[in-house]
Amino acid sequence: MPRTVICVSGSDGAGGDEVARLVARRLELPYIGEDIVSDAARRAGVGPAAVADVEHRKSLIRRVLDELGEAGTAAMAMGGAPPTPVEAQPPRSDELRAFIRDAIEAAADTGSVVIGAHAASFALAGKDDLLRVLVTASAKTRVQRIAAQRGIDEAEAQRAIREGDAERADYLQRFYGVRTEVPTQYDLVVNTDVLSRDDAARVVAQAAG
């Protein structure tokens, strides 16, 4: 059965976001990620106080999805999307993370989409048309990539990766009760030590059917 909702997850330096965007381009599907939702929320005038108001969240999410549509989500997936900044992203509040999660769930309900977001595979677990993908790489490769991307030395890159991994683990446990993230929680695992981003995207696209 074709998988029409493709969730691509990856730790810092593994290349998950790049792979997700390439998959969207190959399959000619819209792409949505945490940073795109955050930017759309800002353009739609959704402030922190509004995000924290659970009662108004559904209408706010609709505004954000409308904003994404007006910005041409499909066009962004075809190569026009601005690249994800290589600098470390500022920490997000739990309220904003919950808002992003709800927006991603709503986007998945609208139809075929590629989602590159933290823990989206867990948020959408149980969907029949879901393909859960983990993009991984060795610690050495991740350190080298982060150091090159951010213009820092490898010791600083190691610290950044440790902090990012710890934040990821904490987020999975607090939001989804996942104590340990393991490959068997995904349908497909691709290693960008071995595969180029293009090759990884091709494998994912083939798996999607």
Tens-place pLDDT, residues 145-165: 999 999 999 999 999 999 999
pLDDT of residue 41: 63
Could you state, in order of their start, the residue ranges of all structural domains in the chain? 5-208
pLDDT of residue 196: 96
pLDDT of residue 77: 42
pLDDT of residue 47: 59
Look at residue 109 and tell me whether its pLDDT is greater than 60. Answer: yes
Q: Is the pTM of this model over 0.85?
A: no
Between residues 73 and 16, the one the model is more confident about: 16
Sign of CA pseudo-dihedral 81, 85, 90, 91: positive
55-88 per-position pLDDT tens digit:
455 565 666 666 555 554 444 444 444 444 443 3
pLDDT of residue 190: 97
**CA-based radius of gyration for the chain:** 16
Side-chain half-sphere exposure of 51, counting CA atoms within 13 A = 23
C-alpha distance from residue 193 to each of 36, 42, 137 (Å):
27, 36, 5
CA distance 163 to 150: 15
Look at residue 46 and tell me whether its pLDDT is greater than 70. Answer: no
Helix ranges, 124-153 (H):
139-150
Report the SS3 class of residue 8: strand
CATH architecture of the domain covering 5-208: 3-Layer(aba) Sandwich (3.40)
Residues 198/25, Cβ–Cβ less than 8 Å: no
